[in-house]
Structure 1
Amino acid sequence: MSKPVYCNRCTNTIEYREDLIICFNFIKLSVYHNECYSEELKGVSGLFLNNPINSLSWTLAAFILLPLTLFFSFISHQWILMALPLIVLFIRYLSWYLFEKNLS
């Protein structure tokens, strides 16, 4: 049985992946319905909401950053520069693991 995913705004259950919007809100992942996300963007909290993590741009960034991170880690041995790409990859994977895989 999959774990239910609840919207942060209306607290209703999100049943379908197409209705899911995941945002990185300061240091936590926020989950919204499509409609609730658009309403949040219109309000004051819209100033602090980022682009959706489960969007095509974040997914493409994750797939592009993975081989680039591996490539540059072997060329330059400055491991501190690998932190930012790895954080982006980790956030995208975490959003999939916690929320997206539980939905149909």
Structure 2
Amino acid sequence: MSKTIICNRCHGEILDQDELVTSTIVFEVVAFHDDCYTKDLKGAKTIVLDNKPLNGFSGNATFIIFVVAALLWVLFADESIKWVALLALLSMGLRLVSYFRYERHLKNND
């Protein structure tokens, strides 16, 4: 199952997972070449661009932390504020969208 992944910045094709960096613009998950992200977008944090990559070690670590935090919140919080755990679904959902929309279609160079 192969899908062409296009960089949102330079509009070039991304061929493998080592080149891919996913981030969010507003609430849309978009793909960038690693070089395009590093040169132009890294460090620029605005309302529409979140500067944290969704894939890679930091994205995976954030995903795991939010899963654990949401589960603990649901288990130990008072009944009236358990709904706050739903806020963790936003971050987890973006990570899952990144994987299913982009990462699973690219070959891994390990």
Asked if 1:22 corresponds to 2:22, the answer is yes
Two-structure CA RMSD over aligned residues (Å)? 1.9
Q: TM-score, normalised by structure 1?
A: 0.84
TM superposition shift of 1:38: 2.2
Asked if 1:62 corresponds to 2:63, the answer is yes
State the aligned residue count. 102
Query: Structure 1: which 5+ runs fail to align?
Result: none
- Which of the two has greater helix per residue? 1
Q: Which amino acid aligns with 1:2?
A: S
Asked if 1:91 corresponds to 2:69, the answer is no
Q: Percent identity?
A: 27
Q: Distance in 2 between matches of 1:5 and 1:79?
A: 38
Q: Which amino acid aligns with 1:101?
A: R
- Structure-to-structure mapping, 1:30-45, within 5 angstroms: 30-41=30-41
**Deviation digits for residues 21-66 of structure 1, max 9, x if unmatched?**
1111122112110111123227xxx343311111312211111221
Q: Which amino acid aligns with 2:94?
A: I
TM superposition shift of 1:71: 2.3
Q: Which runs of at least 4 in structure 1 moved beyond 6 Å after TM superposition? A: none
Q: Which amino acid aligns with 2:70?
A: T
**Aligned twin of 1:82:** 85
Q: TM-score, normalised by structure 2?
A: 0.80
